[in-house]
């Protein structure tokens, strides 16, 4: 028997790089969503009391989720800003920057003094860090998905759905990690959890940041960006052209809004609601963890199916 050619025994350099990019997107988005969702979970449990103590309990909860909303309001701006500079400077450099911003923002939240220590500056600093996180995740998720798709376009264009799902898997994986860590610290006595236990999940984000950066530094720049560097630059920023014909963008946003609304309710408001109605913190966080584990299975399966039957039927289903 003749020995198999090298290409049959091992993947090509492009395929190996695609796998590395997919892993980088998975880890990067997991770090981003761990940080983002830890905030939502802890805000539902204690932030109303710690950062808005003089408000009515219901008003304090609303204020805590108002800082959560600040992160969401900043996300589109982050997508525009980091997308713009990603086209100019490179995808990889922007992805490294967004990961650092997100990880450091989360770590600093874990160090924030509460209202009792510095008064009104506590919620002001909290909102500021939430905006930084929102900007970062707005640039991270779009940039990481784009990086995977551009690498997949070159090597395995027919499986773009499956490969891009690795980036999307970071959301439920980050949810599993955040719910797991918060579940552990929420088992502390209530006074200890409020005194220092809530800080632990935020401080641990620095470990995830180090792992994510280690993998991301080994990723090659997008081949399509390398090719585009030698082409003439457009006269106007792409966002201007998009906003001149906003209908496709608005339709695409409406397609995704249901899933994102459900995710926000699941990882934020539902936790506060259930705890207020008699469920324990570990029970609620266990439910969130189970739901995220289901998503880890369904996401790649649905993405692979979309490569066979099309995106629209899968989204409609």
CA distance 225 to 229: 6
Q: Which among 165-174, 277-286, 306-315 has the top mean pLDDT? A: 306-315
Q: What is the pLDDT of residue 234?
A: 66
Q: What is the pLDDT of residue 11?
A: 58
Q: How confident is the model at residue 316 (pLDDT cuts 50, 70, 90)?
A: confident
- 8 Å CB contact between 311 and 161: yes
Q: Does residue 65 have a pLDDT over 70? A: yes
CA distance 28 to 25: 5
- The least confident of 28-32, 267-271, 292-296 is 267-271
Please name which of 181, 195, 211, 180 lies closest in space to residue 28, comparing C-alpha atoms. Answer: 211
- 8 Å CB contact between 46 and 17: no
- 8 Å CB contact between 168 and 259: no
Q: 174-205: per-residue pLDDT in tens?
A: 888 887 888 888 788 888 888 888 899 899 88
Given this structure, which CATH class describes domain 14-224+237-316?
mainly alpha
Q: Does residue 305 have a pLDDT over 90? A: yes
Q: What is the pLDDT of residue 36?
A: 72
Structure token digits, residue 315: 């989204």
Q: Does residue 7 have a pLDDT over 50? A: no
- Which residues, including other chains, have CB under 8 Å from residue 235's CB and lie 6 or more apart? none
What's the start-to-end Cα distance of the chain, in Å? 49
Q: How confident is the model at residue 313 (pLDDT cuts 50, 70, 90)?
A: very high
Q: 170-182: per-residue pLDDT in tens?
A: 888 888 888 788 8
Q: How confident is the model at residue 297 (pLDDT cuts 50, 70, 90)?
A: very high
CA distance 238 to 294: 37
Q: How confident is the model at residue 108 (pLDDT cuts 50, 70, 90)?
A: very high
Three-class DSSP labels, the chain: CCCCCHHHHCCCHHHHHHHHHHHHHHHHHHHHHHHHHHHHHHHHHHHHHHHCCCCCHHHHHHHHHHHHHHHHHHHHHHHHHHHHHHHHCCHHHHHHHHHHHHHHHHHHHHHCCCHHHHCCHHHHHHHHHHHHHHHHHHHHHHHHHHHHHHHHHHHCHHHHHHHHHHHHCHHHHHHHHHHHHHHHHHCCCHHHHHHHHCHHHHHHHHHHHHHHHHHHCCCCCCHHHHHHCCCCCCCCCHHHHHHHCCHHHHHHHHHHHHHHHHHHHHHHHHHHHHHHCCCCHHHHHHHHHHHHHHHHHHHHHHHHHHHHHCHHHHHHC
Q: What is the pLDDT of residue 182?
A: 81
Q: Does residue 111 have a pLDDT over 60? A: yes
- Separation in Å, CA 79 to CA 135, 139, 234: 7, 4, 19
Structure token digits, residue 11: 């993947």
Structure token digits, residue 247: 């209908």
What's the pTM value of the predicted model, to 2 decimals? 0.77
- Residue-averaged pLDDT of the chain: 81
CA distance 189 to 87: 50
Question: Which carries the bigger pLDDT value, residue 61 or residue 177?
Answer: 177
CA distance 114 to 60: 14
């Amino acid at each position: 028997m003749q020995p198999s050619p090298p290409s049959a025994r091992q993947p090509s350099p492009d395929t190996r790089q695609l796998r590395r990019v997919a892993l980088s997107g998975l880890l990067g988005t997991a770090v981003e969503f761990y940080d983002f969702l830890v905030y939502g979970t802890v805000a539902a449990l204690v932030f109303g009391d710690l950062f808005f103590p003089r408000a009515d309990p219901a008003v304090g909860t609303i204020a805590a989720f108002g800082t959560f909303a600040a992160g969401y309001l900043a996300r589109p701006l982050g997508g525009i800003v980091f997308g713009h500079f990603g086209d100019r400077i490179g995808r990889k450099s922007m992805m490294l920057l967004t990961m650092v911003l997100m990880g450091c923002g989360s770590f600093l939240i874990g160090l924030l003094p509460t209202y009792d220590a510095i008064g009104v500056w506590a919620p002001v600093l909290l909102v500021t860090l939430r905006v930084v996180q929102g900007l970062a995740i707005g640039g991270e998720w779009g940039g990481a998905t784009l990086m995977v798709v551009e690498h997949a376009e070159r090597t395995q264009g027919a499986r773009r759905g499956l490969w891009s799902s690795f980036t999307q898997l970071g959301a439920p994986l980050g949810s599993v990690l955040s719910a797991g860590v918060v579940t552990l610290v929420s088992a502390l006595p209530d006074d200890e959890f409020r005194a220092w236990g809530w800080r632990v999940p935020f401080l641990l984000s620095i470990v995830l940041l180090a792992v994510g950066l280690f993998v991301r530094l080994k990723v090659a720049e997008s081949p399509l960006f390398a090719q585009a560097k030698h082409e003439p630059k457009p006269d106007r920023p792409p966002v201007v052209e998009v906003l001149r014909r906003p209908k496709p963008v608005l339709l695409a946003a409406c397609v995704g809004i249901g899933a994102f609304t459900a995710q926000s309710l699941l990882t934020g408001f539902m936790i506060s609601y259930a705890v207020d109605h008699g469920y324990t913190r570990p029970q609620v966080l266990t439910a969130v963890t189970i739901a995220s584990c289901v998503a880890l299975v369904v996401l790649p399966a649905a993405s692979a199916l979309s490569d066979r039957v099309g995106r629209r039927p899968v989204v409609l289903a």
